[in-house]
Structure 1
């Protein structure tokens, strides 16, 4: 009887787990519309961007725009377009910033597109893992780091390091997050093969001039 109950519980949970997965395969996906009817954005991948959890959920085109996508499909996107290679992304561009939420992608306009099954608003990707490392970074800002909605949420340094700030803190630190600004930061995050990213607890123009951020 207990075994039967366990099997029933497993069967009940399986569909719920499947809902959280991303479809990343050639075809129509799960949308009620064809994402490839949306505007397409073509560029050369300059680098992939990690978040403080150690996941990859964005990239930068050499031409400037940021493309955001679910971490689940990062390997598929990277396989289609390694750094230095072209990528076609279909999606939605924010009104106020050069950031595109990807809904389909392909290595070229002639290739069959891979279609995602959901939007990615990066709702939880900014929070580091519970046992994240303490990091200290410094460098020159390459460009602001945007949310999919086009809000400034931090900065990308010239070496690819991602510095995020707590929600609501970007306005008070906007001069430090502009392209060309000198930026030093401390916080918790991840550093590894995917790159380096942290959620800052303090920012400044130099390591010796850090000021705490509101949380």
Structure 2
């Protein structure tokens, strides 16, 4: 259970637009609109089932959240759906496993709509205007921060997953164009012949009791 009482926090309201994915293909946040502004909200993956069952595009929702310093982000403690249901962060289920998805070598190029952050405000990637989610570890992200700024042109290549909530690429290479990609400085090398890993090709990983909200 989250140590913060959600009712002690003011509710920020907006119109839900779309979910955001982590590198495992799990929902770990969403974008909502406040007037003409995009608002990035982080939610831990263990809230995915309730969020996706109760929230859909166009719904007016409320978010009880904390705001990290130096990041355009709300880290949600609770979300109130349009139907009145309050979805609270009660903490992870220790037996919960990452979902099974096919991983493919994938690339993307486009304009950055939003920078993506972890729950403590650490830069973790970007959302492109075409809807592609790009995920990058925090150390790598600091090396290419200018490419992850809204309005920048970003190209990446890496380990991709397609789900019913969109496409996510865990980048291994990045640059201003697909013709100018470079390996990410702190990144781990990807498979030589395309990704043949993940839950279908190896042991499943469980979220342990020390699981936090950040998924690199």
Per the normalisation by structure 2, the TM-score is: 0.74
Q: How does 1:9-158 map to 2 (within 5 A)?
A: 30=1, 34-63=5-34, 64-108=38-82, 111=84, 113-118=86-91, 132-158=103-129
Bigger Rg over Cα: 1
- Compared CA separation, residues 112 and 129, structure 1 to 2 (3 A): closer
1:166 CA displacement: 2.7
Q: Following TM superposition, by how much is the alpha carbon of 1:171 offset from its aligned partner in structure 2, in angstroms?
A: 2.0
Q: How many equivalent residue pairs?
A: 179
The structure with the greater share of residues assigned to helix is 1
Q: Which blocks of at least 5 consecutive residues in structure 1 are unaligned?
A: 1-29
- Structure 2 residue matching 1:88: 3-state secondary structure: strand
Q: Distance in 2 between matches of 1:140 and 1:115?
A: 33
Structure 1 residue matching 2:41: 3-state secondary structure: strand
Moved over 6 A (4+): 128-131
Distance in 1 (CA, whole Å) between partners of 2:146 and 2:3 is 42
Query: Hey, what's the Cα distance between the residues in 1 that align with 2:177 and 2:132?
Result: 16
Q: CA RMSD in A?
A: 2.6
Cα distance change on mapping 1:175 and 1:76 into 2, 3 Å = same
The runs of 5 or more residues in structure 2 that have no matched partner are: 188-216
Deviations 1:38-70 (A, max 9, x none): 122111112111122111111011232211112
